[in-house]
Structure 1
């Protein structure tokens, strides 16, 4: 677990460890089901998170995309692609969340 996980998420995992383990196994199975590399998969998941306006998922996938080797410019482009599909306000919100993640990482370093 990392410092980035919301308390409610950690509490849910602690309360339902079997469900959390099954979810982790499903996620690992899906991640390995096809030819996409981790960076590409994270950028796609970022777009899905933006589309659903899932603040935590956007932040998580920004962090994971950067860890998988995506540049800040690649992450920004993945977010910008949301303008014509999801709309300007949703895209700006995701861009804000991305900037907060990047600022937090700079403070941690």
Structure 2
């Protein structure tokens, strides 16, 4: 999976709802421009939120993007480990599994 990997469901969303996708993209850019974090930190924060929400697709996406923006695999794993005490052991273990699957398929890991 390269930088341009897009899950099929996301491609379908883009094709079926281009106006919504454009508006969501504009909102995401606006929010990103308002935060003080560098891209690496931003992706690690988003990864943490995705883990807490148990959102598998978002976890996988943010792992890929965090690695692309310079985060190390150890840093990504540390985010999942931190979830043990805030989100629970099962949530953290699920996230670690998703992280390892993405890492195994990623040329940047």
TM-score by length of 2: 0.91
* Correspondence for 2:76: 75
The runs of at least 4 aligned residues of structure 1 exceeding 3 Å deviation read: none
Q: What does the per-residue CA deviation read over 1:10-51, in whole Å, with 9 as the maximum and x for residues that have no partner?
A: 111101101101111110111110211111111011011001
**Pairwise CA RMSD of aligned residues?**
1.7
Paired position in structure 1 for 2:36: 35
Q: How many residues align?
A: 107
Counterpart check, 1:95 vs 2:96: yes
State the alpha-carbon separation in 1 of the partners of residues 70 and 4 from structure 2.
Answer: 19
Structure 2: gaps (5+ residues): none
Contiguous gaps of at least 5 residues in structure 1? none
In structure 1, C-alpha distance between the alignment counterparts of 2:52 and 2:8, rounded to whole Å? 24
For 1:1-109, list aligned pairs within 5 A. Answer: 2-3=4-5, 5-106=6-107
Q: Which has the higher contact order (CA 8 A, sep 6+)?
A: 2
**For 2:60 and 2:30, how far apart are their aligned partners in 1?**
22
